Amino acid sequence: MTTEAAGTESPSALEFLVLAKDCVSRPVLGDITGRWGTLVLLALREDSLRFSEIRRHIEGINEKALSQSLRALERDGFVERHAEEGFPVRVEYNLTELGATITDRLQTLVDELYSFMPDVLTAQSDYDRKHPAI
């Protein structure tokens, strides 16, 4: 394996095994698929948005959760933050090329989910009937 000056492995030399406990891809997967990450990416799919606009798109998200999700997605390289000078400062968020690619795949998953929702609702109903709440 190749190493960089600091003694760390270069990204091209790493094996990414998300099921491995210490795999560096695991937290990134969590950022994308966590409670809010997917929804933030989907909200930004069509256009750049300001913080408040993203909040309006994602019902139920609070400011802290949105701020944390945006920060994590920006760190991972999926989202860019652009601040325009002036008063007040105007900040917009948009997907990077990497973010757009991942979001297209997430949208495909969401579209598939929509098509299977009647089956999911039937399965849930069957389960609830067989396992009544105590």
Which domain CATH number covers 107? Answer: 1.10.10.10
pTM of the model: 0.84
Is 10 contained in some domain?
no
State the pLDDT at residue 3: 39
Is 56 contained in some domain?
yes
How many Å separate Cα 73 from the centre of its chain?
7
- What does the pLDDT average to over 40-55? 97
State the pLDDT at residue 11: 59
How many Å separate Cα 87 from the centre of its chain?
30
- pLDDT band of residue 85 (cuts 50, 70, 90) is confident
- Across the chain, the runs of DSSP E, i.e. the strands, are 49-50, 79-84, 90-95
Is 90 contained in some domain?
yes
Task: For residue 29, give the amino acid letter.
Answer: L
Name the domain count of the chain: 1
DSSP 11: G
Tell me which residue of 39, 45, 43 sits closest to 99, measured CA to CA: 45
- How many residues would you count in the chain? 134
* % the chain with pLDDT above 90: 77
Is 44 contained in some domain?
yes
Is 71 contained in some domain?
yes
Is 101 contained in some domain?
yes
Is 109 contained in some domain?
yes
- What does the pLDDT average to over 42-65? 97
Q: Could you tell me the residue range of the domain that residue 101 belongs to?
A: 25-123
CB 54 within 8 A of CB 40: yes
Is 5 contained in some domain?
no
